[in-house]
Amino acid sequence: MTEYKPGKAARRETIASYIFLAPMLIGVTILLFIPVLMTIIMGFTDWNFVAGFDQLHFIGLDNFKALLEDDIFIKSMKNNLFLLLVVPVGMAVSLCLSIIINNHVYLKDTMKVIYFMPYISSVVAVAVVFQVLFHPTFGPVNQFLMSIGIDNPPKWLSDIHFALPSVMLIMIWTQIGFQLIIYLAGLQNIPRDLYEAADIDGAGGWAKFKKITFPMLSSTNFFLLIIGVIGTFKVFDLIAVLTAGGPSNSTSVTVYYLYETAFINLKSGYASAIALVLLLFVFVITLIQWYGQKKWVNE
């Protein structure tokens, strides 16, 4: 057999393709691959980026050992795990709303825009609005609660017991729009023949949801679950503006603690160790989800 040798035209096309790919590859290398590599290296140092590379000292696993005894880091990880409840609750609310809008609302496009507005709104603006709404004394929420006879309403963002649930409520509210749009797209892709056959068999609303709607939306559920879980571990801006991790670290999450460690306390090496642990944690959760989807996702 003679060895295939690409012609001049084929080589030109190959070179041209690499030229077009070069800006993207260079950007990804500079903005992603190199920072990830540097983070892995710095996780084993006690480096302070203000001091310069001359002060970079390798300390092995000391940063990771310190994390096991760091109360704030452990609290932040627990808060992140608690925030995972936002995902199924938000998905359930969004699924119910999408079914109602898809089956019983005529102005579907208008409802999509209304529910999508919080998702595309500025996080800073949303946080400031909810700071006013949840003000412990003059906020409209507590004013309403006191008007109906509740003398000592919760302090919400100022109370260590209610601060994190308040943040979760806001996260659910802002994410509903995105999840609802995805669910509506999934619902509209379900063949109507299935529902017509179910009607002929005398199936009720719950039976159709259980046997048709939910199984046919399994791939949509899986997508939203992956996106939602990763999003809860990435939450930063809402925490930074709304509570700054307080009160008493009750709303501190891993990314916000990482930010404080790196840019306020100037412990770059320790912050890199936090980033590596967070990356590993999200990677493991994602692997579990990918393994589980083989058992419950309709292809």
193 vs 59, 96, 189, CA distance in Å? 65, 22, 11
- Strand spans (E) along the chain: none
Q: What is the dihedral of CA 168, 174, 178, 184, to 10 degrees?
A: 90
DSSP string across 116-178: HHHHHS-HHHHHHHHHHHT-TTT-HHHHHHHHTT-SS---GGGSTTTHHHHHHHHHHHHHHHH
Distance CA 112, CA 128 (A): 24
pLDDT along the chain (299 residues), means of 10: 62 86 90 88 84 79 90 92 92 91 80 83 88 88 88 87 92 91 89 86 84 87 88 89 88 92 88 91 82 64
CA 233, 238, 244, 246 dihedral sign is: negative
3-state secondary structure of 61: coil
84: which DSSP letter? Answer: T
pLDDT number for residue 74? 93
Integer CA distances (angstroms), 106 to 36, 100, 110, 185, 187, in order:
49, 10, 9, 16, 15
pTM above 0.85, yes or no: no
Single-letter residue type at 201: D
Looking at the chain, the domain(s) classified CATH 1.10.3720.10 span 84-252
Distances (CA, A) of 187 to 25, 31, 41, 209, 248: 37, 38, 46, 11, 44
Could you tell me the fold of the domain covering 84-252? Answer: MetI-like fold (1.10.3720)
C-alpha dihedral over 109, 113, 119, 122, to 10 degrees?
A: 160
| Cα 17-23-24 angle, rounded to 5 deg | 85
164 and 82 in contact (C-beta within 8 Å)? yes
Question: CB of 101 within 8 A of CB of 108?
Answer: yes
Give the number of other Cβ atoms within 10 Å of residue 175's Cβ. Answer: 24
CA distance 49 to 47: 6
Helix (H, G, I), strand (E, B) or coil at 66: helix
H helix and E strand count, the chain: 16, 0
pLDDT for 297 equals 57
At residue 48, the pLDDT reads: 80
